[in-house]
Amino acid sequence: MSVLARGCLGPLCAAARAVIPCLWRGKYFSSGREPAETQVTPMLRHLIYKIKATGPITVAEYMKEVLTNPAKGYYVYRDMLGDKGDFITSPEISQIFGELLGIWFISEWMATGKNAAFQLVELGPGRGTLAGDILRVFSQLGSVLKNCDISIHLVEVSRKLSEIQALTLTEEKIPLERNAGSPVYMKGVTKSGIPISWYRDLHDVPKGHSFYLAHEFFDVLPVHKFQKTPQGWREVFIDIDPQVSDKLRFVLAPCVTPAEVFIQRDEMRDHVEVCPEAGIIIQELSQRIALTGGAALIADYGHDGTKTDTFRGFCGHKLHDVLTAPGTADLTADVDFSYLRRMSEGQVASLGPIKQQMFLKNMGIDVRLKVLLDKSDEPARQQLLQGYDMLMNPKKMGERFNFFALLPHQRLHGRSHPMNACQSKPSVSPVAGFGELAWR
């Protein structure tokens, strides 16, 4: 898309750039205070050379370069998670989060007929903490899964994080197989003896009865930003500030750009963000689930088609201006779940979005917390209670995060794929988390 957009703009000379109006940066796009002096990072130099050569770039191209550039990308060579990083995620806060998600996947596996194969595929696994908590639940419920062929498949572009995941999840006594040029660039065995593989792209993950997990994955995919003007929708681009040669600014495209096709005709907002890459991944997940069964669970910051400008940066757990010192901060934009729903229609059913507070309550977080509190000493009790508050408090993560699921149509309507000899008949039962469970 960005190549076509540049074709519209063409290589812009300094005079032409000055004609393109600057887009109310302070009002719409600044995320945190700008420093008095510009920090010229290697990524900023790279972007300035790129813009000088080809003209202004889309916000989507900017995000892709800053986050995943193979040489200088923010995600490629650093560990940005935890207290010493730039942000912290739910699995790092409390083990209960991952345990309840493990229960969700087993619940759906049982509800869809206990297939003989169980592929757990996680997109963007972070440090591997969430997968580790889920695998612990699988081990504790080994009697339920004893006749099931389980395998773990992690989709990860970051070399640094994949090494951390391997340390977290695999058995040290069994060496990892590594092949940088292969679609499966790393293989091993988990501490509980389950095969585990790493991929750079979802397309490379084997197709089969799979359960997909995407926790804080979609919010870092590149978005195109659009502003409504008297001339119609105009895409937001990033250009060099003509007043300061080592500083970037937002500008509006002077004409229609190809990504505008993703805007709904009846769109009422005056500013929208669209993520074509998210649509492609959702369609891939939907096709796989419709063909071979399984389910997908997505948890992320987001909204149901109501928000406007959500593009922001985080550095050291604080908001960070998105155009300042690129490559040193995380960039994110809220997920538009209404767009994900549209991209899945006709292939699978969808549930949600539902607030994290409600989802975890429906999954029995209060019951699990009580069990752990009864077994813990005072320091551990305080840690559990603080983690619970962070996950459930509406002013913290409780209402900022949402859960969204993709399921086969027959899961909700009782029709089934032809079953193999090892598969039992699926039951039409409520989907855990999206309705209150009856605890016995």
Report the C-alpha gap between 268 and 264 in whole angstroms.
9
Upper half-sphere CA count for residue 296 (Cβ side, 13 Å):
28
Q: How many helices (H) and strands (E) does the chain have?
A: 16, 18
Question: What is the average per-residue pLDDT within 382-389?
Answer: 95
Report the C-alpha gap between 71 and 281 in whole angstroms.
24
For residue 118, pLDDT over 90 is answered with yes
The residue type found at 70 is P
Report the C-alpha gap between 165 and 149 in whole angstroms.
22
- The residue with greater pLDDT, 30 or 132, is 132
Encoding tokens for residue 2?
Answer: 């960005």
The answer to whether the CB of 312 falls within 8 A of the CB of 22 is no
List of domains in the chain: 54-411 (3.40.50.12710)
- What's the pLDDT at 35? 53
pLDDT one-digit tens code per residue, 346-355: 999 999 999 9
Place of tokens 């813990």: 376
Considering only CA atoms, which of 172, 175, 141, 168 is closest in space to residue 152? Answer: 168
Measure CA of the first residue to CA of the last residue in the chain; give whole Å: 53
- What's the pLDDT at 412? 86
For residue 283, pLDDT over 70 is answered with yes
3-class secondary structure, 232: strand
Report the C-alpha gap between 69 and 319 in whole angstroms.
22
3-class secondary structure, 124: coil
- What's the pLDDT at 435? 84
pLDDT one-digit tens code per residue, 52-95: 999 999 999 999 999 999 888 888 776 555 445 444 677 788 99
pLDDT one-digit tens code per residue, 206-243: 999 999 999 999 999 999 999 999 999 999 999 999 99
pLDDT one-digit tens code per residue, 238-265: 999 999 999 999 999 999 999 999 999 9
With a CB cutoff of 8 Å and minimum separation 6, the contacts of 163 are none
pLDDT one-digit tens code per residue, 308-344: 999 999 988 789 999 999 999 999 999 999 999 999 9
Report the C-alpha gap between 185 and 178 in whole angstroms.
6
- What's the pLDDT at 88? 67
Q: How far is CA 362 from CA 128, 359, 435, 436, in A?
A: 25, 5, 6, 5
- Asked if omega into 125 is within 30° of 0 (cis), the reply is no
Where residue 1 falls among pLDDT bands split at 50, 70, 90? Answer: very low
Q: Which residues of 229-246 are buried (b: 16+ CB within 10 A; e: fewer)?
A: eeeebbbbbbbbbeeeee
Upper half-sphere CA count for residue 401 (Cβ side, 13 Å):
25
The residue type found at 348 is V
Q: What is the DSSP string of 337-384?
A: HHHHHHHHTTTSEEEEEEEHHHHHHHTTHHHHHHHHHHH--HHHHHHH
* CA–centroid distance for 147 within its chain: 32
* CA–centroid distance for 214 within its chain: 5
For residue 18, pLDDT over 80 is answered with no
Q: How far is CA 44 from CA 196, 237, 416, in A?
A: 37, 16, 53
Where residue 9 falls among pLDDT bands split at 50, 70, 90? Answer: very low
- What's the pLDDT at 71? 87
